[in-house]
Structure 1
Amino acid sequence: MIKPSVLLFALLMSAPAFYRLLGDEIDLIQVLIRFLVAVPIAAVLMAGLRFILAGYRKAEEEPPATVMTPEPYDSPEPGKST
């Protein structure tokens, strides 16, 4: 499914064609073709942007693993036997 952000970006990329349509410089078919060409290009560019920005997202905090508590070790004093 195409995301709305991709369609908006494709619309922005093909905005000059829509502007030229208002001045009757090009046909509606050419404008629609330019928009349809802009959609996959916008999808690739937005996917690349999402891939780059994914590394900067805040990682979800994981629950701490089992906590090890230190226990005292009774070592014999040097020179004394047990």
Structure 2
Amino acid sequence: MARFPTLFLALLIASPALYATFVTHQLDLQTGLLRLLIAVPVAAVMLALFRLVTRDYGKDDERKKEPSESDGDEEPLRAEAVAGEPFPQRRAEDAQ
């Protein structure tokens, strides 16, 4: 929970309260620091959810690079998708 990105995000979340505490003196010190203290676990949860969503990103690329455990003599499967008739090609003379 005390990782640098977590603390940075907590500072970013609590920056309006810290600004109001230390610069404009509209909040007292206890309130500003309490808001920073509340922002730390909120930032930790937000970053944990982000890491959870993005943890498998790019793993398929690593699996493709690894050689398969089969003989290796097999030709890879190739497929072609065809959807309807192809568009007729237009020549410059047809446009006039």
Long gaps (5+) in structure 1? 71-82
Q: Indicate the structure whose relative CO is greater, using CA pairs within 8 Å and at least 6 residues apart.
A: 1
2:66 to 58, 62, 67: 62
In the TM superposition, residue 63 of structure 1 has moved relative to its aligned partner by 4.1
Aligned equivalents of 2:47 and 2:26: distance in 1? 30
Residue type of the alignment partner of 1:27: D
The structure that has the greater radius of gyration is 1
Matched, 1:5 2:8: no
Give the length in aligned residue pairs: 70
Poorly superposed stretches of 4+, deviation over 4 Å = none
Structure 1 residues 19, 64: closer, same or farther in 2, change over 3 A?
Answer: same
Q: How does 1:3-82 map to 2 (within 5 A)?
A: 3-21=3-21, 22-59=23-60, 60=62, 61-67=65-71
Residue type of the alignment partner of 2:14: S
Residue type of the alignment partner of 1:62: E
Long gaps (5+) in structure 2? 75-96
How much is the aligned-residue C-alpha RMSD, in angstroms?
Answer: 2.0
Aligned equivalents of 2:14 and 2:43: distance in 1? 10
